[in-house]
Amino acid sequence: MNKKTALIIGSGLGGMATALRLSSLGYPVTILEKHSSPGGRLNQIKIDGFTFDLGPSFMSMSYELTELFKSCNLDIPVQLIPLDPVYQVFFEGKDKPYRIWKDLSKLEQEFAAIEPDFAAKAQRYLKRAGSIFHDTEYRVVKKNFYNKLDYLLKLTRVPPKHLPFLFRNLWEEVENTFSSEEVRIIFSLVAFFLGSTPFKTPAIYTILNYTELEHDGYWKIQGGMYRLVEEMIKLLKEKNVEIIYNTEITGIESSNGNVAAVTDQHGKRWPADIFIANADAAAFRGTVLNRPRYSEQKLDKMDWTLAPFTIYLGVRGKIDGLLHHNYFLGNNFRGYADEIFTSSINPQKPYYYVNVPSKSYHECAPDGCENVLILCPVPDLRFKKNWDDKEKLADTIIDDLSKRTGYDITKNIIVRKTLSPVDWSQMLNLYKGSGLGLAHGMNQVGAFRPRNKDEKFSNLYYVGASTVPGTGLPMVIISSKLVLERILNDNGSVLEN
């Protein structure tokens, strides 16, 4: 068959999905990974009988995962389970959480006391959002752009009625639709899935409300999110993909406008015909390729998503009242969102998300115990450089969670691990600890996002959260399809749909 050899830098979902697609077409593939295990942000931590998913806890647009395997003539190797209620939201000072059901009539009952005519308002809101989703999915999101003009031409195919959604933010959209502060806040939480706040996120991203409540919903993976990585690694091994860990690419060697080899932290050369960086597409151009456009000063000026602060707890006993997904919010949403993420001090009253996989799969915690992941979005290392006080913030959050669940978690902790933005940054090369990579303002999407083909080297490509189309598990899978299309086009083949 004599195909070109491909070398992928990074074993995140983007890297693994690209490896699966290329190896299925007969390309010999090697993956080099900095970390000691595969998966990138979709990793796992095992401590004393507890198994924690490192980051992602659900996915939307599950059909992208199905498509990935189908396009490689494989069956999907994991079982996806829909979430309903998708999550619940606890507000400070209110005993009862709001459960977010996909069925709008059930959701209307949940909001009966606070939002008159909820179902009719939500239907109108979701209809608008759905129409943006379907008018952009194939025209823009799942497209490669060859230059800015090409992008702008593709944008002209999107009906102009959606234009105003570019010029107002998500908060304004929910404010125009709903009258109660709680419903507004709940509908605007999707902005945090994009690693930003609703006050900075364009209203176009109401499409995430549509994907969450109407389109395909949210899914968890039976046995935990890491099952996906384990199964993909098995399939990659069957396809003779070699994966080498503890190997960080720090430099490149070029010749005649091509990358000839990349070099690792020990100076070892790794030659190949095609290179695909699954490392952050902006930061890699700066730190490894030394591109002036991506110098630290320039990277710092870009918009980055919020940094994760994560706590992994193995807890003795069962915590009643928690579901798979839970949000704990305070009562100064606007002030919190405006100030906290550019501050250098820890929040006194943090807002956070709690995932309890042991409510769904027993194997992730010993009998009678709970497995708890707490995620609190915080400022990245540009704003708060020093995280030596991380355990203090963890104490504040655990204490708050104990009070609000009525269960003394602090006294029942068997396992505790805290990761600050410093840890995340060092572990996976996340730029300044930014959790989801480059943000998604209109100046950083489409042709304005770092391209998936290098500007200078004709055999260097990019896949993952900071290139097109964007961040999140389904987007990264789409990213692997887009980069495959580029590679095949450049090598005289066409991607069959």
Q: Encode 132-155: b = buried (16+ Cβ within 10 Å), e = exposed.
A: bbebbbeebbbbbbeeeeebeebb
C-alpha count within 13 angstroms, C-beta hemisphere, residue 79: 5
Q: Are 289 and 259 contacting, i.e. CB atoms less than 8 angstroms apart? A: no
Residue 126 binds ligand FAD (CB under 6 A): no
Closest CA to 183 of 132, 121, 268: 121
Residue 350 binds ligand FAD (CB under 6 A): no
Backbone φ/ψ region at 225: left (φ over 0), alpha (ψ -120 to 50), beta = alpha
The piece of 38-46, 202-210, 230-238, 454-462 that touches ligand FAD (CB under 6 A) is 38-46
The piece of 11-19, 146-154, 205-213, 400-408 that touches ligand FAD (CB under 6 A) is 11-19
Q: Which is nearer to ligand FAD, 155 or 323 (CB)?
A: 323
Tell me how far apart the alpha carbons of residues 135 and 81 are, in angstroms, rounded to a whole number. 28
CB of residue 115 to ligand FAD, shortest distance in Å: 27
CB of residue 118 to ligand FAD, shortest distance in Å: 26
Tell me how far apart the alpha carbons of residues 352 and 77 are, in angstroms, rounded to a whole number. 32
Q: Which is nearer to ligand FAD, 32 or 129 (CB)?
A: 32
Give the per-residue contact string, 426-445, with ligand FAD (x = CB under 6 A; - = no). Answer: --xx-----xx---------
- Chosen residue from 10, 85, 286, 379 binding ligand FAD by CB under 6 A: 10
Residue 57 binds ligand FAD (CB under 6 A): yes
Give the per-residue contact string, 380-419, with ligand FAD (x = CB under 6 A; - = no). Answer: ----------------------------------------
* Pairing between β-strand 460-462 and β-strand 325-329 as defined by DSSP bridges: unpaired
The piece of 36-44, 115-123, 331-339, 486-494 that touches ligand FAD (CB under 6 A) is 36-44
Tokens describing residue 478: 């789409």
Size of the site for ligand FAD (CB under 6 A): 36
CB of residue 367 to ligand FAD, shortest distance in Å: 27
Tokens describing residue 436: 């989801």
C-beta contacts of 65-68 below 8 A and 24+ residues apart: 65/228, 65/473, 65/474, 65/477, 67/477, 67/481, 68/17, 68/20, 68/21, 68/477, 68/480, 68/481
Q: Which is nearer to ligand FAD, 178 or 431 (CB)?
A: 431
Give the footprint of ligand FAD on residues 81-100 (CB under 6 A): none
Give the per-residue contact string, 459-488, with ligand FAD (x = CB under 6 A; - = no). Answer: -----xx-----xxx--x------------
Residue 20 binds ligand FAD (CB under 6 A): no
- Chosen residue from 6, 7, 11, 86 binding ligand FAD by CB under 6 A: 11
- Chosen residue from 186, 375, 439, 478 binding ligand FAD by CB under 6 A: 375
- Chosen residue from 279, 322, 340, 372 binding ligand FAD by CB under 6 A: 279
Amino acid at 56: P
Residue 144 binds ligand FAD (CB under 6 A): no
Residue 44 binds ligand FAD (CB under 6 A): no
CB of residue 42 to ligand FAD, shortest distance in Å: 5
Q: Maximum distance among all alpha carbons in the chain?
A: 69
- Chosen residue from 6, 7, 15, 186 binding ligand FAD by CB under 6 A: 15
Q: Which is nearer to ligand FAD, 59 or 365 (CB)?
A: 59
The alpha carbon of 234 is separated from its chain's Cα centroid by a whole number of angstroms, namely 23
Tell me how far apart the alpha carbons of residues 392 and 394 are, in angstroms, rounded to a whole number. 5
* Pairing between β-strand 274-277 and β-strand 87-91 as defined by DSSP bridges: unpaired
Closest CA to 144 of 446, 494, 487, 474: 446
- Chosen residue from 50, 51, 56, 485 binding ligand FAD by CB under 6 A: 56
Q: At what angle do helices 13-24 and 473-490 cross, to 10 degrees?
A: 40
CB of residue 449 to ligand FAD, shortest distance in Å: 13
* Pairing between β-strand 460-462 and β-strand 274-277 as defined by DSSP bridges: parallel
Residue 41 binds ligand FAD (CB under 6 A): yes
Provide the binding-site residues for ligand FAD, judged by CB under 6 A: 9-15, 32-35, 40-42, 55-59, 248-249, 278-279, 308, 310, 375, 428-429, 435-436, 464-465, 471-473, 476
